Structure 1
Amino acid sequence: MTELRQRMIEDLRLRNVAENTLTCYVRAVRQYAEFFGRSPDRLDAKHLRQYLLHLLEVQKVAQGTYNQKVAALRFFYRETLKKPAYVEGVCFTRKERKLPVVLSHYEIRRFLEALDSLKSRAILMTCYGAGLRISEALSLGVGDIDSERMMIRVRQGKGRKDRYVALPKTLLIVLREYWKAAKPVDCLFPGRDGVKPLTRQSVVNACHRAMKAAGINKNVSPHTMRHSFATHLLEEGADVRTIQVLLGHRSVTTTALYTHVSQATIRKTKSPLDRLNEEPAATA
Structure 2
Amino acid sequence: MTLAVYQGDLLAQTRQWTNLHDEELRRRAVQAAGEKDVDALVSLTTAYLAHQGGSGVLTSPRTVEAYALGTRQFALYAREQAVNLLRPHRHDAQNYVNHMLAAGRKPAGVQLKVAAASCLYRALRWAGATDADPFRDAKVPKDRTPGLVKRPPYSEDDLADVLEKADIHAKFLLFLTAHAGLRISEALALEWDDLDEGARRLHVRSGKGRKGRVVAMSTSLSRAARHYRGLYGPGGPDHTDGKRTTPGERVFRYADMTTARYHVQKAFKQAGVRFRGFHPGRKYAGTRLLQQIKDFGRVAAHLGHESVDTTRKGYAQLAADDLKDDLAGW
Is TM > 0.5 for Structure 1 vs Structure 2?
Answer: yes
Alpha-carbon displacement from aligned partner over 1:207-246 (angstroms, at most 9, x marks no partner): 5443343244x66431121111122222333632211111
Q: What is the RMSD computed on CA atoms of the aligned residues?
A: 3.3
* Residues 94 and 135, structure 2, Cα contact 8 Å, conserved in 1: no
Alignment partner, residue 8 of structure 1 = 45
Task: Select the residue among 132, 151, 156 that pairs with 2:201.
Answer: 151
Q: Select between 33-42 and 149-158 the one with higher mean Cα deviation.
A: 33-42
Q: Is 1:172 matched with 2:225?
A: yes
Q: Equivalents in 1 of 2:197, 2:74: separation in Å? A: 47
Residues 33 and 40 of structure 1 are in contact (CA less than 8 Å); yes or no, is this contact kept in structure 2? no
User: 1:98 deviation in Å?
Assistant: 3.3
Give the secondary structure class of the aligned counterpart of 2:147.
Answer: coil
The secondary structure found in structure 1 opposite 2:71 is helix
Residue number in structure 2 paired with 1:120: 170
Residue type matched to 1:73 in 2?
A
Query: What percentage of residue pairs aligned between the two structures are identical?
Result: 26
Instruction: Work out the number of aligned pairs and report it.
Output: 264
Tell me if 1:45 matches 2:84. Answer: no
Q: What is the rounded CA distance, in whole Å, between the counterparts of 1:203 and 1:64 in structure 2?
A: 26
Whether 2:247 is the aligned partner of 1:188: answer no
Q: 2:289 aligns with which of 233, 236, 243?
A: 233
TM alignment of 1:239-258, pairs within 5 A = 239-257=295-313
Secondary structure of the structure 2 residue equivalent to 1:187? coil
1:66 equivalent to 2:115? Answer no
Work out the CA distance in 1 between the residues paired with 2:118 and 2:79: 20
Q: Secondary structure at the match of 1:153?
A: strand
CA distance in 1 between partners of 2:84 and 2:170 (Å): 43
Compared CA separation, residues 175 and 271, structure 1 to 2 (3 A): closer
What per-residue deviation string (whole Å, max 9, x for no partner) do you get for residues 33-56 of structure 1?
A: 233448998465345444333222
Change (3 A) 1:101 1:120: same
Structure 2 unaligned blocks of 5 or more: 3-39
Q: Aligned partners of 2:83 and 2:256: how far apart in 1?
A: 32
SS of the residue aligned with 1:164? strand
Displacement of 1:171: 3.1
CA gap 1:118/1:70 in 2 versus in 1, 3 angstroms: same
Picking from 76, 83, 105, the partner of 2:156 is: 105
* Deviates further, 136-145 or 202-211: 202-211
Change in Cα spacing, 1:91 to 1:106, as seen in structure 2 (3 Å) is same
| Partner AA of 2:250 in structure 1 | C
Answer yes or no: is 1:81 the counterpart of 2:125: yes
Distance 1:7 1:230, change over 3 A: same
Q: How far apart, CA to CA, are the structure 2 residues paired with 1:174 and 1:104? A: 25
Aligned counterpart in structure 2 of residue 131 of structure 1, from 181, 190, 196: 181
Equivalent position SS for 2:324: coil
8 A Cα contact 1:147 1:172, kept in partner: yes
Determine whether 1:269 maps to 2:327: no
TM-score normalised by length of structure 2: 0.67
Deviates more, 1:161-170 or 1:122-131: 161-170
- Post-superposition Cα deviations, 1:74-132, rounded to whole Å, max 9, x if no partner, equal 121124435343223123431332324234434322121122x3322222221112111
TM-score scaled by structure 1? 0.76
- SS across alignment from 1:249: coil
Task: Please give the secondary structure, in 1, of the residue aligned with 2:190.
Answer: coil
Q: Distance in 1 between matches of 2:73 and 2:133?
A: 21
- Determine the C-alpha separation between the residues in 2 that align with 1:230 and 1:102: 9
Q: In structure 2, what is the Cα distance between the partners aligned to 1:98 and 1:220? A: 14
Q: In structure 1, give the amino acid aligned to 2:277.
A: S
